[in-house]
A and B are shown apart, each in its own frame.
Chain A
Amino acid sequence: MEKLLEHLSWLARVKLCNYERKLLVNDIAKIMEFFNRLGEIDVKDVEPTTHVIELVSVFREDKPGKPLSLDKALKNAPSKEGGFFKAPRIL
């Protein structure tokens, strides 16, 4: 479970402190147990439900609309520079 948690935190790009790790290991164990129980159900002949509403083929015409202004687009950005969103260094 420790290993799974480590992997998940890497996927989510979230660093955990020891205290958080202890709490989450327990939570994740519970979640896994729940999903394992779901896994026991035989769904061999059941078609997967991908959508719960019955609408199909909802389309839009290929007609250009007006984009947001730059000010609005960047309004919620925690960090910006020269019209760009600013993000941490990624490797």
Chain B
Amino acid sequence: MEKLKVKIGLEVHVQLTKLKTKLFCSCPSDYRGKPPNTYVCPVCLGLPGSLPKVNSKAIEYAVMVALALNCKINRKVMFFRKHYFYPDMTKNFQITQYDRAGGAPIAVNGYLKLSTSDKEKVVRIRRINIEEDPGKLVYPTGSIITSPYTLVDYNRAGIALLEIVTEPDIETPAEARLFLQKLRSILEHLDVCDCGLEGAVRTDANISVAGGGRVEIKNIGSIKDVEKALMYEILRQKEALLKGLSIRSETRHWDDVRKVTVPLRVKEEEQDYRYFPEADIPPIIITEEFIEKIAKQMPELPDERLKRFQREYGLPYYDSSVLVSNKKLADFFEETVKLYKRNPKKVANVIINDFLRWIHEKGLELDNVKAKPKDIAELLKLLDNGIISIKIAKTVLPEIIVSGKSPSQVVKERKLLKISDKQIIRQIALKIFREHKKAAFDALKDKKAINYLIGQIMKYTKGRADPAVTGKVVKELLTDLKEGKLKL
């Protein structure tokens, strides 16, 4: 089938988790893991007579994000009520922003540059809204389909959210992932959102294939799942087109257990939301001085950090880009380099090639890895000082990642010190030669057999034999064997 034109736009909901309170009331924002409805007050429960009041820090954070995404910041910002009847909001409306009917969201018309292997790609940002998060619905049976009723917890209601909306400039699921990774790294560098927290970043994806209807996939919880959901949707829509069916515009729900999209309730249309100005919240004037002040305080962002890594540590572009794609990883790298200054490239190699792979393999996140930068630095020093072999270093790494023990402790406990004594290696090699006589004679003319013998020595010493010394010893023994000086 020919390649079909795919257009993807994203709506990313980002909780400003670094705020201490909700958007319009002073309820604490660290609601995760708390008993239901214990972080609520008259404002976020929408009780009559309560008055929402804007968290000034939320505006600051929103301006920081807008600047980082190259947006135009509106000077007069308003909140609007978006009406819908659904129990996740007690008021029957959500306080959000609107770009029509005299309204203005905090920021519009920005962009984010992505670097893929072969090109630079610009994804335009249509707008950024500040809005309140709705409450959380809990289904007593665990399923929306089979539950006879719904339970509601309003601890999350009123948490400050940014809704970041892109233009449909994204062309593949992989680009969507890259966009979200970069956005996440920016948010973490700005220190406005701890994106690893459950539900801190939720994405809706709009996708149309070959000019078909626009399908919206709601509420995808992770970057990986955004890519999966989009791949699923493209396949589903292509199959439908092949069968001669047309794709209608609809809203679908990402089922993250079954990894499929399913049709959702019929949704309201824009006019049904009856947007109107939130009269309880006066407009917010954002002055030039305010923006300038924030611009001056902006921390280093991933693009600048990438360039600095190249300049300061002499790292190649690829290494730098992998490291800064995740703020915590880049921090981990820099902490390690502080303790192991002699070779930043070596630190980058270990972190990118081995450390990351093991984290992935053990199903961990950087947050719950036990190994600290000092452990990686120590491992490299043990290696440099000839105390352990590279092979051993590679077996020590996963252990320190999981256990939190220091490398030297692991080496000591598991007796992993490198054997570089030539006499000892010679004795072991002789034993191996005698146990594998055929291989030893084959090795006189076949290089493969030499490697086999070396492999056996490594196996016998559990990787502790110094590779250089071992190679030399085997070569010497083979010469002796050839000249008849050695009898097996």
Contact = CB atoms under 8 A, between A and B. Distances in A.
Interface residues of B, number: 55
Interface in B255-300: 265, 268, 272, 277, 279, 281-285
A76 B50 CA distance: 15
Q: Taking chain A's interface residues, is the majority helix, strand, or loop, or is none over half, making it mixed?
A: loop
B27 A65 contact: yes
A68 B36 CA distance: 12
A82 B151 contact: yes
A43 to B, nearest CB: 11
Contacts of A62: 19-21, 55-58
B155 to A, nearest CB: 9
Interface of B: 19-21, 25-29, 35-42, 45, 47, 53-59, 78, 84-87, 101-103, 137-138, 144-145, 147-154, 265, 268, 272, 277, 279, 281-285
A84 B284 contact: no
B85 A67 contact: no
B472 to A, nearest CB: 67
Contacts, number: 137
Which 7 residue pairs spanning A and B have beta carbons closest together? Answer: A48-B102, A65-B26, A84-B151, A59-B56, A62-B57, A50-B277, A87-B87
A63 B41 CA distance: 14
A11 interface: yes
Contact of A59 (B37, B47, B54, B102): B54
Given A50-B283, A89-B148, A89-B149, A60 B38 contact: no
Given A65-B41, A82-B151, A88-B149, 8 more contacts: A11-B85, A51-B283, A57-B285, A62-B55, A63-B26, A73-B154, A85-B153, A89-B147
Contacts of B265: 91
Interface string A44-72: 00011111110111111111110111100
A84 B26 contact: no
A24 interface: no
Contacts of B55: 59-62
A64 B26 contact: yes
